[in-house]
Structure 1
């Protein structure tokens, strides 16, 4: 076997997904810590899984055991082929099955999610019930609501672990400061911008963070207005208080 590397600084699943995504052929071998432990062996052919063993375990059960406690030294030996393949499955499908037996953390975001590779999600061998959950995510239902029941929580956690679901980031808007006398103590933004932020963030926006060219960030209560365009309107007293001037270009996002 070639020189091995510790898994301490690597995510085994990310390594496997990278190799599979590149259409690699070869053997991924992990020698677990502890004398006498059987190795974890996973064979790929053109990116598809041909066999997985871990001691007496085979297939998804073997992968689940390794993903549940990934440790040891690994090496990928390109070009090696298993002599008697017992699988011909995508790594996504095998992992999807294996993750049902792995304890997964809850996602650290609750707003709308973004499917990072819709074509991979569409190809997953899901149950009809799981596919229903996926459609809710595709419809931009907040992740926190989708994960409100055990099935939804499991589907969300598996997607995140596979790198197929990530938080939808709110766009930063480049705006020009202007003056308004219609409100006091608050900023006014075009209502279409606030609506886009509401949809992407999963809730109404009540404050706006404004970043100046010098790095300073100011936060203001915000209201929507029609036909404001790419302007951020502030009352005269607010402009004076913060030494701002109309015509200044700023970056704005929900606070």
Structure 2
């Protein structure tokens, strides 16, 4: 989608994503929605919000009304827009969502924080800034108490893309026979620590993927100073047909992996 003349129905789009796309295009113009409650208008100048109105309501309140009931036909017409205002679209969206009940939290694992200039211009409140710091330090979203102010904050920030799922890193390791273990594999403590920070809890198992595409799931223990070596108990090698000296890709199971495994 581009920010040329646009028209459509809001029920086919995510309103926040649509407005952010228009802002990121850096264009000037007016976004209008013909709504059952009246006409919504939001003006951009070089991608920055100049004003928003919905009937007699102005600013973030007008946008909140549209977000509450995102329906109606819309148009965006590029044209010169006068004004001196400098409200980033993301900041206005955050302000509007503060006026509404928190949305559902769509994931509850670890998250990464959007790292760009827009984050600096958000105008985070104290509790929002604190939540962002805790999430950046590795706290999982599901650890914020249901119904709490903090839970509402993370739900809003996820809704706007400020917080996004953090994917765990995959390690390429070389298999070696491990005489000290039984039915387990040993990974370097530093790798397990990194995964713990990314997942919010220490992993108890590891998924191994060979170059031939075979995927196996094995209990793990952490051992210091292994580097890129993966120590594998002999019974694990035999059970899964693995060979010492070969390499595998290793990562911890995530929530979806666990659910699939339990279903089996």
TM-score by length of 1: 0.88
Structure 1 residue 107: deviation in Å? 2.4
Q: Secondary structure at the match of 2:31?
A: strand
Residue 79 of structure 1 corresponds to which residue in structure 2? 79
Cα shift at 1:194: 0.7
Q: Does 1:60 align with 2:63?
A: no
How many residues end up aligned between the 2 structures? 249
Q: What is the deviation of 1:64?
A: 0.5
Q: Indicate if the aligned counterparts of 2:175 and 2:248 stay in contact, CA closer than 8 A.
A: yes
Q: Secondary structure at the match of 1:189?
A: strand
Task: Choose from 28, 31, 37 the match for 1:28.
Answer: 31
**Post-superposition offset of 1:49:** 1.1
Q: Which range moves more in the overlay, 15-24 or 140-149?
A: 140-149
Where does structure 2 lack aligned partners over 5 or more consecutive residues?
Answer: 254-264
Q: Is the 8 A contact 2:103 2:156 kept in 1?
A: no
Counterpart in 2 of 1:173? Answer: 171
Answer with 53-62 or 130-139: which moved more. Answer: 130-139
Structure 1's 81 and 122: CA in aligned 2 closer, same or farther, altered over 3 A? closer
- Taking the aligned partners of 1:190 and 1:144, their CA distance within structure 2 comes to 28
Q: 1:195 aligns with which of 190, 193, 196?
A: 193
SS at match of 2:132: helix
Q: Which position in structure 1 is the counterpart of 2:248?
A: 250
Cα distance in structure 2, aligned partners of 1:104 and 1:150: 10
Q: Give 1:62 deviation, angstroms.
A: 0.9
Q: Any idea what SS the aligned residue of 1:97 has?
A: helix
Farther-moved stretch of structure 1 (121-130 vs 241-250): 121-130
DSSP 3-state at the match of 2:19 = helix
Q: Is the 8 A contact 2:23 2:47 kept in 1?
A: yes
CA root-mean-square deviation: 2.1
The match for 1:105 is 103
Deviation at 1:7, TM superposition (A): 2.1
1:122 to 120, 138, 153: 120
- Structure 1's unaligned 5+ residue stretches are none
Report what 1:7 is aligned to. Answer: 10
Closer/same/farther in 2, CA of residues 53 and 117 from structure 1, 3 Å limit = same
* CA distance in 2 between partners of 1:211 and 1:9 (Å): 39
- The Cα offsets for residues 174-225 of structure 1, whole Å up to 9 and x where unpaired, read as 1122111001110111111111111111011110011223333211010111
Residue pair 2:102, 2:153 contacting (<8 A) in 1 also: no
TM-score, reference length from structure 2:
0.86
Q: What is the rounded CA distance, in whole Å, between the counterparts of 1:157 and 1:13 in structure 2? A: 14
Q: Spell out, residue by residue over 1:13-50, the C-alpha distance to the aligned partner (whole angstroms, 9 max, x if none).
A: 11111221232210011123x5xx42211001112211
Q: How far 1:86 sits from its partner (Å)? A: 9.2
